């Protein structure tokens, strides 16, 4: 009752179409977040500001006129919103005045289509579109909107006919009518979701074999990096729409996640857009809140509010076959014209929406013409000099590299279970989970003996307070494998920079350990790893050295380069130089290629592989190196330049060694003498969350209600790893 009263209060006095749309979107958005959070995550439900919707509709109309001498009002310009939500795009199209009143009945009845898979949204959209139409036309006779279908857009072109039930005969007819209609315009806001984050989430995305195969043969085939993000729902929407557009030409206009513009994993996606379209318009609205500090402030407000933390862009793609025929058809180097506008730094959400509203259309705003390089960088281009330097590592076994081996950090997929400050607590919680797991395996074993075709998933308990399942643990359980606790698996892990925890390092309870078992095979293994931020991140490049097991996200998608690696010794043929009792033989992580190259270049045979290891660490901290190659370091592994003078080589090597010693042994560094610590006399050391005196007063840390640390020098905050200083990580 209170809910309906609040709705009534909000809608009273709203007498304009734009206001009504805002109310519908806001109510629906909030309702879904509270009532169906899993559905919001799985389907990527985010609703679009009216200013953005209007900009897209007017841009489409202007570009249609420019490219095809047509308008949205013209006959046989068929329009589809494949992910209609509450129907905002179609209602604003009807209200835009771009369709004449004479053409509106024909358009409404035959030439506008919309799809929605969520039942509640489908009903709201249908009523919303129908009421809008009748408000404009003023007919007393009510005509339902037959262009809307209750269907999964991505499923339409799959071969298995998993559309809405055949019992919904009228709906099936609508889907078939839409399938058989050539589409010239596709507009909308595609869903935002790459898949469930967690085995327990129950938010797994639908699989589309035909669509996935198209992505594999196009975007993925042209991509040089990790391909998983190419199966994000919004990328699928671009692929589906590109294939759905009529062969005679047309326009796609979406507001979507904008990280594709500069993402490393989307280089193949960008390359395909260049090849498949004649003109590309991009309005970069920024707002990436997966950043921190100054970079986050520069990105500005989020267009979708709390609905999305990703950067947002409006993209308009033009497929005009007549333009393509004017180009050199003997060459495969057909490239689209790319028109780009960046909204700018430090703008609030409200300021951004006002700019969008004021521009009204792509053809009314200033743009720059982007010229992609050979790596399909459109903005933040790489430096050609970088390619001349020596590759750090190569999984394809290229021998002309700095390091023989490198690895990602450990991914546990059950952090709260296998990490802990307290060693005793870690042992207790892992033992408890394994005990519960073994009981579940025993239960399954007994049931499967008694009856055939017993499904493991239906039998086991998924109580998150007792166990964290993942596919690996499920596979073990299905094979009735019991797992015992191993004391030797309790290790020290570097969870985040300067932030160690006890870690249960075990193949059964860690999703992947990559090459780490060959780099730090035992508790007593002595080794050092230079850990760098991985490609595709939003934060500035950084690196840190450790002698512990690094977490994959200790740095964003981190990669680690070891001083040594270890191989299990074949005891039947012991080495003359190794104790036959030793289980492992130590090998050099630094390659023979680089030591030969360095010694030859400097004429210095006294240089060791360890000296080169620390030279690498020194170079990676060089501000000149980081600034000059900032774009390269975000998109690919580092490459190593060799300085001209041997004295500079030694300077970098010695500086790298000193830094390495500080970063590995930071807990043994003497306290800064001017820092004042007060309140320890109370003997109260328990802490829940440390905080600064204020955001801009970082010279004081409040440890708890009793203890304070004061006079921390500002310089302590200048050294940054993975977006934060050491103090802020702790």
Compute how many other C-beta atoms are within 10 angstroms of the C-beta atom of residue 373.
Answer: 10
Q: DSSP state, 512?
A: B
Give the pLDDT band (50/70/90) at residue 416: very high
The predicted structure's pLDDT at residue 710:
95
3-state per-residue secondary structure call for 651-693: HHHHHHHHHHHHHHCHHHCCCCCCCEEECHHHCCCCCCCCEEE
Give the span between the Cα atoms of 155 and 260, in whole angstroms.
24
- For 432, the enclosing helix (H) or strand (E) is helix 423-450
The distance from CA 548 to its chain's CA centroid, rounded to whole angstroms, is 27
Q: What is the percentage of the chain residues whose pLDDT exceeds 70?
A: 86
Q: Would strands 185-188 and 250-257 be described as parallel, antiparallel, or unpaired?
A: parallel
pLDDT digits (tens, 9 = 90+) for 291-344: 666 677 787 778 877 656 789 999 999 999 988 544 444 455 568 999 999 999
Give the pLDDT band (50/70/90) at residue 30: low
List the single range of 220-224, 261-265, 289-293, 352-356 with lowest mean pLDDT.
289-293
DSSP-based three-state secondary structure for 564: strand
pLDDT digits (tens, 9 = 90+) for 629-672: 999 998 889 999 999 999 999 999 999 999 999 999 999 999 89
Q: What is the percentage of the chain residues whose pLDDT exceeds 90?
A: 64
The predicted structure's pLDDT at residue 525:
93
List the single range of 129-143, 384-398, 572-586 with lowest mean pLDDT.
572-586
* Average pLDDT estimate for 559-563: 97
Looking at the whole model, is its pTM more than 0.85? no
79 DSSP β-pair partners: 112, 185
Asked whether residue 612 carries a pLDDT value surpassing 80, the answer given is: yes
Q: DSSP state, 16?
A: S
Give the span between the Cα atoms of 467 and 294, in whole angstroms.
39
Conformation bin of residue 97: beta by default, left when phi > 0, alpha when psi is -120 to 50: left
The predicted structure's pLDDT at residue 371:
92
The predicted structure's pLDDT at residue 289:
67
List the one residue out of 328, 354, 331 whose CA is nearest residue 343: 354
Contact 404, 612 (CB under 8 A): no
533 DSSP β-pair partners: none
3-state per-residue secondary structure call for 300-354: CCCCCHHHCCCCEEEEEEEECHHHHHCCCCCCCCCCCEEEEEECCCCCCHHHHHH
Of residues 2 and 483, which shows the higher confidence score? 483
Query: Across the chain, what does the average pLDDT equal?
Result: 87
Give the span between the Cα atoms of 151 and 122, in whole angstroms.
9
Q: Residue 495 burial (CB < 10 Å; 0-12/13-18/19+)? A: buried
DSSP-based three-state secondary structure for 397: coil
368 DSSP β-pair partners: 340
pLDDT digits (tens, 9 = 90+) for 237-273: 999 999 999 989 999 999 999 989 998 889 999 999 9
81 DSSP β-pair partners: 114
* Longest CA pairwise span in the chain (Å): 99
Give the span between the Cα atoms of 475 and 461, in whole angstroms.
15
* Average pLDDT estimate for 450-468: 84
Q: Residue 16 burial (CB < 10 Å; 0-12/13-18/19+)? A: exposed
pLDDT digits (tens, 9 = 90+) for 153-179: 999 888 655 554 555 788 889 999 999
Non-local (6+) Cβ contacts of 659 within 8 A are: 545, 617, 618, 621
List the one residue out of 395, 389, 396 whose CA is nearest residue 594: 389
DSSP-based three-state secondary structure for 366: coil
* Average pLDDT estimate for 59-78: 97
The predicted structure's pLDDT at residue 279:
96
pLDDT digits (tens, 9 = 90+) for 672-705: 999 999 999 988 999 989 999 988 899 999 999 9
Give the span between the Cα atoms of 709 and 672, in whole angstroms.
11
Contact 208, 155 (CB under 8 A): yes
Contact 86, 24 (CB under 8 A): yes
- Strand segments, DSSP code E, in 448-582 are 490-496, 499-504, 529-532, 543-546, 549-550, 559-562, 564-568
490 DSSP β-pair partners: 504
Provide the terminal-to-terminal Cα distance of the chain, rounded to the nearest Å: 48
The predicted structure's pLDDT at residue 309:
72
Give the span between the Cα atoms of 117 and 433, in whole angstroms.
39
CA 296, 300, 303, 307 torsion-angle sign: positive
Of residues 494 and 453, which shows the higher confidence score? 494
List the single range of 133-137, 211-215, 523-527 with lowest mean pLDDT.
133-137
Give the span between the Cα atoms of 307 and 301, in whole angstroms.
12
Q: What angle do CA 494, 497, 500 make, to 5 degrees?
A: 35
Backbone angles phi, psi at 285, to 5 degrees: -90, -5
Count helices and strands in the chain by DSSP H and E runs: 24, 27
Asked whether residue 581 carries a pLDDT value surpassing 60, the answer given is: no
Give the span between the Cα atoms of 193 and 202, in whole angstroms.
14
Q: Residue 510 burial (CB < 10 Å; 0-12/13-18/19+)? A: buried
Contact 564, 527 (CB under 8 A): yes
* Average pLDDT estimate for 119-144: 83
CA distances from 358 to 353, 355, 365, 471, 602 (A): 9, 5, 9, 50, 61
The predicted structure's pLDDT at residue 333:
59
The predicted structure's pLDDT at residue 570:
72
Non-local (6+) Cβ contacts of 11 within 8 A are: 20, 23
Give the span between the Cα atoms of 85 and 118, in whole angstroms.
8
List the one residue out of 104, 89, 100, 11 whose CA is nearest residue 51: 89
Give the span between the Cα atoms of 42 and 137, in whole angstroms.
38
Give the span between the Cα atoms of 648 and 645, in whole angstroms.
5
């Amino acid at each position: 009752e209170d809910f309906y009263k609040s709705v009534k209060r909000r809608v009273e006095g709203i007498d304009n179409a734009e206001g009504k749309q805002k109310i519908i979107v806001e109510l629906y958005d909030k309702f879904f977040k509270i009532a169906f959070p899993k559905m919001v995550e799985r389907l990527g439900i985010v609703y679009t500001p009216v200013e953005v919707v209007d900009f897209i509709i007017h841009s489409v109309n202007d570009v249609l006129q420019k490219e095809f001498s047509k308008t949205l009002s013209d006959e046989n310009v068929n329009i589809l919103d494949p992910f209609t939500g509450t129907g905002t795009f179609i209602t604003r199209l009807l209200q835009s005045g771009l369709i004449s009143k004479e053409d509106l009945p024909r358009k409404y009845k035959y030439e506008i289509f919309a799809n929605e898979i969520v039942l509640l949204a489908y009903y709201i959209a249908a009523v919303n579109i129908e009421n809008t139409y009748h408000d404009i036309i003023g007919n007393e006779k009510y005509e339902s909107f037959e262009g809307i279908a209750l269907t999964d857009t991505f499923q339409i072109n799959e071969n298995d006919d998993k559309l809405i039930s055949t019992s919904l005969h009228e709906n099936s007819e609508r889907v078939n009518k839409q399938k058989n209609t050539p589409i010239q315009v596709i507009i909308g806001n595609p869903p935002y979701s790459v898949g469930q984050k967690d085995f327990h989430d129950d938010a797994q995305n639908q699989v589309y074999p035909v669509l996935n195969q198209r992505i594999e043969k196009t975007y993925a085939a042209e991509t040089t990096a990790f391909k998983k993000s190419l199966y994000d729902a919004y990328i699928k929407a671009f692929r589906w729409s590109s294939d759905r557009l009529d062969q005679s030409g047309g326009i796609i206009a979406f507001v979507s996640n904008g990280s594709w513009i500069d993402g490393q994993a989307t280089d193949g996606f960008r390359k395909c857009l260049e090849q498949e379209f004649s003109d590309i318009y991009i309005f970069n609205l920024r707002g990436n809140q997966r950043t921190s500090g100054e970079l986050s402030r520069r990105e500005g407000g989020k267009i979708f509010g709390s609905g999305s933390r990703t950067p947002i862009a409006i993209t308009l793609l033009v497929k005009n076959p007549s333009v393509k025929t004017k180009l050199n058809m003997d060459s495969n180097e057909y490239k689209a014209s790319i028109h780009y506008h960046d909204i700018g730094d430090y703008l609030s959400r409200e300021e951004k929406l006002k700019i969008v509203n004021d521009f009204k259309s792509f053809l009314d705003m200033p743009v720059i013409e982007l010229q992609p390089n050979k790596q399909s960088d459109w903005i933040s281009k790489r430096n050609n000099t970088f390619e001349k330097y020596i590759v750090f590592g190569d999984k394809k076994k290229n021998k002309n590299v700095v390091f023989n081996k490198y690895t990602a950090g450990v991914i546990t997929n059950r952090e709260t279970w296998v990490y802990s400050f307290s060693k005793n607590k870690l042992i207790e919680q892992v033992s408890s989970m394994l005990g519960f797991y073994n009981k579940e395996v025993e239960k399954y074993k007994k049931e499967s003996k008694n009856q055939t075709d017993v499904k493991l998933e239906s039998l086991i308990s998924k109580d998150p307070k007792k166990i964290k399942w993942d596919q690996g643990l499920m596979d073990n359980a299905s094979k009735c494998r019991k797992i015992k606790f191993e004391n030797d698996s309790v290790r020290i892990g570097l969870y985040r920079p300067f932030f160690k925890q006890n870690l249960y390092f075990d193949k059964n309870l860690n999703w992947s350990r990559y090459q780490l078992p060959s780099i730090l095979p035992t508790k007593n293994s002595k080794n050092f790893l230079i850990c760098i931020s991985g490609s595709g991140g939003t934060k500035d490049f950084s690196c840190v050295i450790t002698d512990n097991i690094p977490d994959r996200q200790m740095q964003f998608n981190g990669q680690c380069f070891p001083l040594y690696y270890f191989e299990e010794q074949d005891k039947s043929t012991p080495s003359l130089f190794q104790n036959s009792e030793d289980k492992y033989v130590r090998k050099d992580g630094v390659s023979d290629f680089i030591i030969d190259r360095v010694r030859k270049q400097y004429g210095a045979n006294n240089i060791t592989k360890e000296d080169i290891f620390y030279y690498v660490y020194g170079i990676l901290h060089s501000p000149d190196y980081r600034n000059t190659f900032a774009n390269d370091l975000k998109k690919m592994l580092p490459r190593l330049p060799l300085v001209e003078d041997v004295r500079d080589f030694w300077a970098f090597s010695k500086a790298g060694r000193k830094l390495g010693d500080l970063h590995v042994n930071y807990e043994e560094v003497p306290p800064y003498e001017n820092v004042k610590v007060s309140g320890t006399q109370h003997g109260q050391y328990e802490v829940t969350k440390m905080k600064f005196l204020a955001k801009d007063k970082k010279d004081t840390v409040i440890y708890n209600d009793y203890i304070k640390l004061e006079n921390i020098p500002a310089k302590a905050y200048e050294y940054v790893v993975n977006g934060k200083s050491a103090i802020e990580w702790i």
